[in-house]
Structure 1
Amino acid sequence: MLDKLDFLLALAQERHFGRAAETCGVTQPTLSAGVKQLEDALGVRLVERGSRFHGFTPEGQRALEWARRIVGDARAMRQDIDALKRGVVGHLRIAVIPTALPMVAQLTTPYRAQHPDVRFTILSSTSLDIGAALDNLEVDAGITYLDNEPLGRVSVTPIWREGYRLITAADGEFGAQETVTWRDVGRLPLCLLTPDMQNRRIVETLLREAGASPSPTLESNDTVVLLSHVRTGAWSSVLQQSFTDVMGLPPNIRSIPIVDPEVVHTVGLVVPHRDPTTPATTALVATAKALAARLASV
């Protein structure tokens, strides 16, 4: 039964029979037959199918919810029992919003010092995709905003509070100022994250509320691209203070607090809401709490 539920999860992730089969390491006929056997066992049609995958039926959507819960619990059980024999081991997949990526090493490094047999995959992701990936068991945890958009059914651990900074040339229009307003920011040629990123949605809302019209001359889903353009002195951007603190800025670029209003958001760890959690996830939450305490004391 578990293998057939895995087929269902892969189909939800890939939205394509062939790619789902590749993900599961089976042939497409094997995957299709497995889904059909699951439908026969449940006595309902789960998948809208023709020559291609067309989505899930209402019964299929409900079965998918149960599949996520059952497969997630089965994986957690295996990891929990394995940890009794070998300690905390395994593979942690963490999806992170781009602006928080520079901070991840402050979480993974102390974690691995305590649990050297755990390896990591760190993925850059939008906040919306982090929620979907957690639901579909594609990742084990996420680092994202906690207080701006709905998070879904997750357990949260706040880690740090994040303010916004104008990153601009020191010899530019506002380069000599100690603070700038959001209206000031709207006057500059900006490079910003793409609209699918929550950071971009936050920045656009604040610019509009200040009476500015957000119209970036360059956008990217990669903060490294933004920073490389700001370094030329020809563009400005809006990034979080932690990003510039960790990545560093050249002498010709300044990081200036944005006020009127001064906005702060909480960034933290999100993990699936499950009891008990896996030993690796439990250890990750403990490390996140220790990091939060350390940052709060600085």
Structure 2
Amino acid sequence: MQLRALRYFVTLAREEHFARAADICGVAQPTLSSALNSLETQLGKRLVERDRRYIGLTEEGRAMLPWAQQLLAAHEAMVHAVEALGGPLRGEFRLGAIPAAMPSVGQFTQALLRQHPGMTLSVRSQTSREIMRAIEAFEIDAGVTYLDHESPSNVISVPLYAERYVFVTAEAGTQRESGAVSWQEVARHPLCLLHQGMQNRRILDGLLDAHGLSATPRATADSYIALLAMVQSGGLATVMPERYVDLIEGTDWAHVRPLAMDAAISRIGLVVGDRGPLDPVAAAALNCARRIAGESMRD
């Protein structure tokens, strides 16, 4: 059984499109289809339902998928283990990060690439649930996500920092209020927030509910950049992690105030799959995260 054919199969299952899967694998579509046909012949089972286009995996294909993912990941980890004996790691490091953590990704990536200059980095913006699914499917090497709310399972985690929130409005040319904002004041404003598929929004909803309040935003989005654009246009306000403040600091339209909270809301950290033996790439990520966390504690 060729690893190449397994890689085509796993890619097709993820992309659900023959041409797109072939493009990602760097082969022509007939080459990918031929390899899949050979794999099905070797197994004596049909793995993919198709009629000129991808329809889905058969029952046998769905049963085989997690094992194919695991075989490919084990082969990649084996290569990394051999490489690690000779020096810095090489290849692509795949990182998933929740939108709330994107401003903090730079510090981690700088540390990783400095330690392993032969590596390249691919960063994906994903929800916390997408990160966990991608780790389970061996599609990413690590994730940066929430550790305390909807806590991830079957992972090794390293806390990086505690998240706090700020309230952002557009009040250019007006008398600006100062001091912390209460949740009651937040609820009185017309809001734009992340949609409820994002864990940050579910955390905010929980905090409001704890004060007997609820939010019915006038607009939702899946990125903080979109929220800031809506706030800048006027009429709306938003709540976002304080680490985004650097993006709008010094602008003439943004008015940022802290939220009235007794403590940090939740921890954000790096997670990798809790598997043995641990892929050297995952181990390298954990080492970088621990170094960053240690430096943060000293500060």
TM-score by length of 1: 0.86
Which residue of structure 2 lines up, in the alignment, with residue 8 of structure 1?
Answer: 9
User: Displacement of 1:172 after TM fit?
Assistant: 11
Q: 5 Å matches for 1:109-258?
A: 109-149=110-150, 151-168=152-169, 176=177, 178-231=179-232, 234-244=235-245, 246-247=246-247, 249-250=249-250, 253-258=255-260
State how many pairs are aligned. 296
1:104 is matched with which residue? 105
1:285 Cα deviation after fit: 0.8
- Deviation at residue 94 of structure 1 after TM alignment: 1.2
Bigger mean CA deviation after superposition, 288-297 or 3-12: 288-297
SS at match of 1:180: coil
Secondary structure of residue in 1 paired with 2:74: helix
Structure 1 segments unaligned to the other structure (5+ residues): none
Percent identical across equivalent pairs? 36
> AA paired with 1:279?
P
Change over 3 Å in CA distance of 1:110–1:21 after alignment to 2: closer
Stretch of structure 1 that moved more, 170-179 or 125-134:
170-179
Secondary structure, aligned partner of 2:177: coil
Deviation, structure 1 residue 262: 5.8
Contact 2:95 2:140 in 1 (8 A): yes
Deviation at 1:15, TM superposition (A): 1.0
- Partner Cα distance (2:31, 2:258) in 1: 58
What's the CA shift string for 1:141-180, capped at 9, x where partnerless? 2111122225354332221121222223578999635333
The structure-2 alpha-carbon separation of the partners of 1:231 and 1:183, relative to structure 1 and needing over 3 Å to count, comes to: same
Structure 2 counterpart of 1:37, which letter? S
Contact 1:68 1:136 in 2 (8 A): yes
Secondary structure of the 2:164 match is strand
Contact conserved, 1:175 with 1:254, CA < 8 A, in 2? no
**Cross-structure match for 1:55:** 56
AA partner of residue 192 (structure 1): L
Contact 1:177 1:256 in 2 (8 A): no
How far off its partner does 1:286 sit? 0.6
Q: Which residue pairs with 2:297 in the alignment?
A: 296
**How far is the alpha carbon of 1:86 from its aligned partner?**
4.0
**Does residue 267 of the first structure (1) align with residue 271 of the second (2)?**
no
Instruction: Name the stretch that deviates more: 285-294 or 18-27.
Output: 18-27
Contact 2:179 2:257 in 1 (8 A): no
Residue 29 of structure 2 corresponds to which residue in structure 1?
A: 28
Question: Closer, same or farther in 2 for the Cα pair 1:293/1:86, shift >3 Å?
Answer: closer
What is the TM-score normalised by the length of structure 2? 0.85
Structure 1 pair 150/21, CA: closer, same or farther in 2 (3 Å)? farther
Moved more, 169-178 or 44-53: 169-178
Is the Cα–Cα contact under 8 Å of residues 157 and 271 in structure 2 kept in the other structure? yes
Residue ranges of structure 2 left out of the alignment (5+ in a row): none
The 1:263/1:59 distance shift into structure 2, 3 A limit, reads: farther
Native 8 Å contact 1:168 1:230 kept in 2: yes
Query: 1:130 Cα deviation (Å)?
Result: 1.9
How far the C-alpha of 1:249 sits from its partner, in A, is 2.7
CA shift at 1:248, angstroms?
Answer: 5.2
Q: Does the C-alpha gap of structure 1 residues 295 and 159 become closer, same or farther in structure 2, counting only changes over 3 Å?
A: same
Q: Is the 8 A contact 2:165 2:241 kept in 1?
A: yes
- Work out the CA distance in 2 between the residues paired with 1:175 and 1:162: 25
The answer as to whether partners of 2:181 and 2:257 remain within 8 angstroms in 1 is no
Aligned equivalent of 2:74: 73
**Per-residue deviation, 1:66:** 0.6
Q: Tell me which moved more, 87-96 or 274-283.
A: 274-283
Which whole-Å deviations, capped at 9, do the CAs of 1:170-227 have from their partners, x for residues lacking one? 7899963533333321111222223332212222343345443422233332212323
Provide the C-alpha distance between the structure 2 equivalents of 1:173 and 1:13, rounded to a whole number of angstroms. 51
Quick one: distance in 1 between partners of 2:38 and 2:273?
Answer: 29
SS of the aligned residue for 1:186 comes to helix
User: Partner letter of residue 58 of structure 1?
Assistant: E
